[in-house]
Amino acid sequence: MVNARLSRRAALRGGAGVLLGGASLGVLPLFGTPDRKQDPASCRTRDLSSSDKRLVVSNWPGYIDEDDGDYTSTLTEFEKKTGIKVSYTADVNDNLEFFAKVVNQLGSCQSSKRDMFVLTDWMAARMIQVGWIQPLDKAKVPNVHANLIDSLQHVGWDPDRTYSAPWQSGLTGIAYNKSKVKEVRSFEELLTRSDLRGRISLLTEMRDTMGLIMLTEGADPANFDQDDWDNAIDRLRKARNDGQVRAFTGNDYIQDLSAGNILACEAWSGDVAAAEDENLVFVSPEEGQMIWSDNMLVPNLASHQGNAEEWINYYYEPEVAAKLAAYVWYICPVKGAQEAMEKVDPSLVDNQLIFPSAESLKTMHSFMALEEFQIRAYEGDFADVIGG
């Protein structure tokens, strides 16, 4: 279980480090070129679901439960319940890496040979904006619209969840080593406290780090303007120049935090939970915390969309969602799963890293969807600072 909980974000962090550490903005997806855009209504194929009970899914590593002895996984139960044979592949190791696998097909209205894949908010938003994703039949995914938790509804890039359904979510906040330093309560403290100077790390994920800095500056990361961005990047640059930041990390901050090489850091909730180190404390900063999701998407020319929608609807059954959450230990996006967890694993019912309280949910913020010119400008600014 520990390895499963670690692998999804570890893979993502590794990809971010390659992108930003090398400051190679040329590898960012060129979504905006006219020949890449599609009309989902005209780039589709006949749905074979009623006669061909198959489904091809691409997801992140360690992001689903597996059969083990007497334990029957949710995937196996889905196959037994529906008669649909699932070809499930954990080949989404990084958003950009996966983009490279499918860009030529999707960008020219050809089949990606997948019925579903799971991508993080910002990549999902871009694919939807350029018309590479099919709308879901609302009548076939009623559980999504009935059971999706409130904090994940009405996102700016898919306000009615017409194209996407969150698979799992996670939080970005603060972690500190309580055996080495006193409590760190805010991101402001992380950036300014003298006893932390040179002993903190921030993440190489631009949207997480800049989102939290915007909250510190009093801006809304879900709705900001150029002045807000400029103020936030200046604040990051100051922290870097003042020597407050020891490193911008990829996949190794938990080890450094446990060892005392850093005293506090920007962190992902799942990493702290999986570390199983009683000295490491995850904190929701006083300013708020960032929430991200990985989203189920049906690409253009998927030939088993009906089967994909049946899969989505199945995983939004509270009992199924609880069983999955007990294995992967990320935020469960499904209402009713907390109550269902009583039968799955009562010890997890009150786990705030799986089922955040209503009070905690109010502190969560998402990063707004960016236009193509903003992506290039903002990623460039960020890379200049963290690589300087």
pLDDT per residue as tens digits for the range 197-235: 999 999 988 999 999 999 999 999 999 999 999 999 999
pLDDT tens-digit profile of 105-122?
999 999 999 999 999 898
Average pLDDT over every residue of 277-303: 95
Instruction: Provide the token pair at 241.
Output: 């120049």
Q: Does any domain span residue 162?
A: yes
Parallel, antiparallel, or unpaired for β 280-283 and 85-89? unpaired
Q: Pick the more confident residue, 201 or 364.
A: 201
Average pLDDT value over all residues in the chain: 89
Q: Is the confidence at residue 133, as pLDDT, over 60?
A: yes
Nearest to 95 by CA among 152, 31, 173, 144: 31
Do 69 and 210 reside in the same domain of the chain? no
Q: Which CATH number goes with the domain that contains 317?
A: 3.40.190.10
Do 141 and 152 reside in the same domain of the chain? yes
Please classify residue 303 by burial: count the beta carbons closer than 10 Å to its beta carbon, then call 0-12 exposed, 13-18 middle and 19+ buried: buried
How far is the C-alpha of 313 from the C-alpha of 317, rounded, in Å?
7
pLDDT tens-digit profile of 37-91?
899 999 999 999 999 999 999 998 889 999 999 999 999 999 999 999 999 999 9
Do 126 and 231 reside in the same domain of the chain? no
Q: Is the confidence at residue 18, as pLDDT, over 80?
A: no
Lowest-pLDDT range, 25-29, 54-58, 160-164, 277-281?
25-29
What pTM was computed for the model? 0.80
How far is the C-alpha of 276 from the C-alpha of 65, rounded, in Å?
20
Do 62 and 138 reside in the same domain of the chain? yes
Q: List, in sequence order, every residue forming a beta bridge with 116; answer none if it has no partner.
A: 57
Do 150 and 264 reside in the same domain of the chain? no
Q: What is the pLDDT of residue 57?
A: 98
Query: Amino acid identity of 70?
Result: D
Do 259 and 331 reside in the same domain of the chain? no
Q: Does any domain span residue 326?
A: yes
Q: Does any domain span residue 267?
A: yes
Do 265 and 382 reside in the same domain of the chain? yes
In terms of C-beta distances under 8 Å and separation of at least 24 residues, what long-range contacts does 68-74 make, across chains too? Answer: 74/315, 74/320, 74/323, 74/324
**Tally of domains in the chain:** 2
Nearest to 93 by CA among 2, 17, 203, 171: 17
Residue 202's domain comprises 170-291+367-387
Do 241 and 252 reside in the same domain of the chain? yes
How far is the C-alpha of 380 from the C-alpha of 137, rounded, in Å?
38
Q: What is the pLDDT of residue 7?
A: 43
Q: Any residues with CB less than 8 A from the CB of 351 and at least 6 apart, and which? A: 273
Q: List, in sequence order, every residue forming a beta bridge with 173; answer none if it has no partner.
A: 267
3-class secondary-structure state, position 173: strand
Do 234 and 306 reside in the same domain of the chain? no
Nearest to 126 by CA among 168, 95, 92, 93: 95
Instruction: Spell out a b/e string for 135-145, using b for 16 or more CB atoms within 10 Å of the CB, else e.
Output: bbeeebbebbe
Q: Is the confidence at residue 32, as pLDDT, over 90?
A: no
Instruction: Spell out a b/e string for 319-347, using b for 16 or more CB atoms within 10 Å of the CB, else e.
Output: bbbbbbbbbbbbbbbbbbbbebbeebeee
